[in-house]
Amino acid sequence: MSRFKLYIEYDGTRYSGWQMQKNAKSVQGKLMEIAAHIFKGERVDIQGSGRTDAGVHALYQVAHLDVKTMLAPEIIRMKLNDELSADICILEVEKTHPNFHARHDAKSRSYVYQISKRRTAFGKPFVWWIKDQLNFEKMERASKLFIGMHDYISFADQDDLEKSTKVLIEDVELKVEGDLILIRIIGSHFLWKMVRRMVGVLVEIGRGKLSEKDLKYFLEHESPTPAKYTAPPSGLFLEYVTYDDEKMEKDFGSTINISSLNRTKRRS
C-alpha cells in the first residue's frame, strides 16, 4: 500500500461539499468513484485536509490517497484528470510517507471570501453581490477582533457542538481589488459554516446594522444571531493548507477579474 499527496482545485457549485455523503454528490465521493475505477480490484481511500460546505470552492485542497500501485505520481494525476469533470482538477500528485495524514498533520488553513460591489454576468457563482454600500474601514477594524483564541460557539453549527468550539485565528486581512472586497481568514481549523458567519457579521457591520460591541458579545457569549447572517457559499474558497514549517503566502488576490470596464461616451 502506497500513500500519495494530492493537491486539488474544484468549483463546488454542483457538489454537496467535500465530504462523502449518502444520496448526495460530493467531491470526495467523485474522487473515490474514479480512483476505484482506475485501480480496479484494489482498495482505495482518499481523505482530505478538511470538509468544505456545499457550494464552497477550493483553490488548493490537500488530500491523501492510499492504494497499492506501481504507477508514478504523474501518471496517477493524468489518469484521474482524464476521468474527472471540468470542475475538479488534480494539480499535483506526489508520493509521501505512510504516516502523513492530510487532516491531522495540517498546521493551518486559509479561506478567501469574495464580495462583489456590482452585479456581474460572469462571476455570480464565485461571489456574493451586495447592493448596499459597505463601510470598508469599519469592517477592517472589526475583523481584528477575531484574531487570537476564541470560543466560536456563536458561529458554529449544531453538527460541531459536541466537540470543542475554541479556534485559534492567526490573521484576518481585508482588501479591495477592483470591484471586489476580499476577506482572507487564516486559522488552525474551522467549524462548519464558521467562516461564512464571520463574513456575514462583518458585512452587517459594514452595513451599519451591527457594531464592534455586538461582535465582542458574540465572541464572549453564546448567541444565535450570527447564524442569521450566514454568507452564501458562492463567494468562499479554501485557499491554502500548510504543513510542518510551511508558511502561508503573504499576498492574496481574487480568483476572478470583474473589474469595471472603462466607459467612454460615444460621440455622434
CATH number of the domain at 7, please: 3.30.70.580
Q: Characterize the bridge pairing of strands 106-116 and 128-129.
A: parallel
Domain of 149, CATH number, reads 3.30.70.660
DSSP 198: H
| Residue carrying the nine cell digits 456545499 | 54
Question: Confidence class of residue 257 from pLDDT cuts 50, 70 and 90?
Answer: low
Give the residue ranges of DSSP H helices in 62-160: 73-83, 136-143
Closest CA to 172 of 182, 180, 159, 162: 182
Closest CA to 229 of 201, 195, 190: 201
pLDDT at 216: 98
Q: Are 233 and 53 in contact, with CB atoms under 8 Å apart?
A: yes
Highest mean pLDDT (candidates 58-67, 120-129, 251-260)? 58-67
Count of residues in the chain? 268
Q: Are 11 and 125 in contact, with CB atoms under 8 Å apart?
A: yes
Give the C-alpha separation, 233 to 111, whole Å. 12
166 located within any domain: yes
Query: How many other β-carbons are positioned within 10 Å of the β-carbon of residue 16?
Result: 17
> Average pLDDT, whole number, for the chain?
91
Number of domains composing the chain: 2
Q: pTM for the complete prediction?
A: 0.91
259: pLDDT strictly greater than 70 = no
248 located within any domain: no
Is 53 annotated in the active site? yes
155 located within any domain: yes
Over 16-64, what HEC string results? CCCCCECCECCHHHHHHHHHHHHCCCCCCEEEECCCCCCCCEEEEEEEE
Question: Confidence class of residue 247 from pLDDT cuts 50, 70 and 90?
Answer: confident
Give the C-alpha separation, 17 to 24, whole Å. 9
Q: Are residues 74 and 177 in the same domain?
A: no
Last residue of a domain, one of 35, 70, 96: 96
| Domain boundaries, position 51 | 2-96
Average pLDDT on 179-194 reads 94
214 located within any domain: yes
Question: Confidence class of residue 163 from pLDDT cuts 50, 70 and 90?
Answer: confident
Give the C-alpha separation, 211 to 139, whole Å. 9
Q: Are residues 138 and 180 in the same domain?
A: yes
Q: Are 156 and 167 in contact, with CB atoms under 8 Å apart?
A: no
Give the C-alpha separation, 225 to 218, whole Å. 8
More confident residue, 21 or 197: 197
State how far Cα 212 lies from the chain centre. Answer: 25
260 located within any domain: no
Question: Confidence class of residue 266 from pLDDT cuts 50, 70 and 90?
Answer: very low
Q: Are residues 72 and 132 in the same domain?
A: no
pLDDT at 122: 83
Give the C-alpha separation, 76 to 93, whole Å. 7
252 located within any domain: no
Among the listed residues 53, 171, 244, 251, the single catalytic one is 53
Closest CA to 91 of 250, 191, 241, 235: 241
Q: Are residues 87 and 114 in the same domain?
A: no
More confident residue, 194 or 267: 194
Last residue of a domain, one of 96, 129, 148: 96
Give the C-alpha separation, 113 to 83, whole Å. 30
30 located within any domain: yes
Q: Are residues 63 and 27 in the same domain?
A: yes
Give the C-alpha separation, 214 to 207, whole Å. 13
How is residue 89 written as a grid cell?
Answer: 482538477
How is residue 116 written as a grid cell?
Answer: 462583489
Q: Is the dihedral of CA 246, 191, 174, 239 positive or negative?
A: positive
Last residue of a domain, one of 36, 63, 96: 96
Q: Are residues 118 and 206 in the same domain?
A: yes
185 located within any domain: yes
Question: Confidence class of residue 82 from pLDDT cuts 50, 70 and 90?
Answer: very high
